[in-house]
Amino acid sequence: MINVLLITFLITLFFVAIANRLLTYIKVLAFQGVLLFAVVFIQLNNINTFNLILILMETIFFKSIAVPVFLAYIIKHNKITREAEPYLPHFISLIIVTMICVASILLVNSIKDNELDKIFFVVALSALFTGLYFIISRRKIITHVMGYLIIENGIFVLSLALGSQMTMLVNIGIMLDVFVSVLVLGIFTNRIGDTFEAMSVDNLSNLKD
């Protein structure tokens, strides 16, 4: 069951690669939150209740409700155009994301470790590098934030692989990271939207030598 969920997670990455509208990105992020909730629910049943509730709150409330609503609000408030405006065509994006996945599979397969949950590592590494790729290849600042959130989801999968080992502290760390990044990045997207005409990274190139 976990395999099915994680593979669905991987497929969402391909879906983002060819998605055209920002709203689709937000929906995919919300869907990833639900997927992660399901994975947590199946994977981590032997840790204490309070910890479990905390993680569940983070996935469902944070990743699938609060963050998407907030992003949608930013898009509406700043009147951002609906298209994602990638630098590269969708077809090439799709190929690159596929190559990232294949490379992750090859890398993880080369590890000689019997206790390793390979699928977790494949999905996590793919999400990490796909997120980085989205940050590089999209023009809008808001898509950078979304790329960052995809990286965060990947990291979350990675920490689930070590499930019972991750202590309370690290959970708080993840929560803080998500909370802080969205809040602060969101505030700045607001400010940047008010200051610059269009929310594009092309306007962020004044600092140079």
Partner 1 sequence: MFGYYLIIVLLLGTGTLINRNGPIRIVLLTIFLLVQTAIALYGFFHINTGQLDGNFYFDSLGVIFLLVLAILSYTTVLHSYIYLQHRKDSSRNQSIYFTALIVLIGGMTSVYLAATIGIMWVLIELTTLSVAVLIYHERTNLSLEATWKYVFICSIGITFAFVGIVFLSKALQEAKSVNLSFSDIPNHLQNVNTFWLKLAFIFMLVGFSTKMGLFPMHTIEVDANTVAPPPISAFISTALLNVGFIAIFRTYTLMAHTSILPWMNHILLWSGFLSLFVSTVYILKVNHLKRMFAYSGLEHMGLVAIGLASGGIGYFAAMLHMVLHSFIKASVFYQIDQVYRVFGTFIISKTGNYFNKNLAGAMVMLLLFVSVTAIPPSGMFVSEFLIFRSLFEAHNILLFIVVLLLLTLIMWAVGKNIFSMLFLPQHEQTGKFVKISPWESSTQFVLLTLAIYLGINPPPFFLQLINEAILALPK
Q: What residues line the site for partner 1 (CB under 8 A)?
A: 111-113, 115, 128, 132, 135, 141, 144, 148, 151-152, 155, 158-159, 161-162, 165-167, 169-170, 172-173, 176-177, 180-181, 184-185, 188, 191-192, 195-196, 203-204, 206-207, 209
d(C-alpha 40, C-alpha 1), whole Å: 12
Residue whose CB is less far from partner 1, 89 or 113: 113
CB of 208 to partner 1, least distance (A): 9
Phi-psi region of 12 (alpha: psi -120 to 50; beta: other; left: phi over 0): alpha
CA 83 vs CA 12, 39, 139, 140: distances in Å: 18, 31, 10, 10
Residue whose CB is less far from partner 1, 15 or 148: 148
**β-pair partners for 24:** none
Residue whose CB is less far from partner 1, 89 or 112: 112
Residue whose CB is less far from partner 1, 1 or 209: 209
State the burial class of residue 137 (Cβ atoms within 10 Å of its Cβ: 0-12, 13-18, 19+): middle
Residue whose CB is less far from partner 1, 12 or 159: 159
Contact of 72 with 23, CB cutoff 8 Å: yes
CB of 89 to partner 1, least distance (A): 25
CB of 182 to partner 1, least distance (A): 10
CB of 25 to partner 1, least distance (A): 17
d(C-alpha 71, C-alpha 165), whole Å: 32
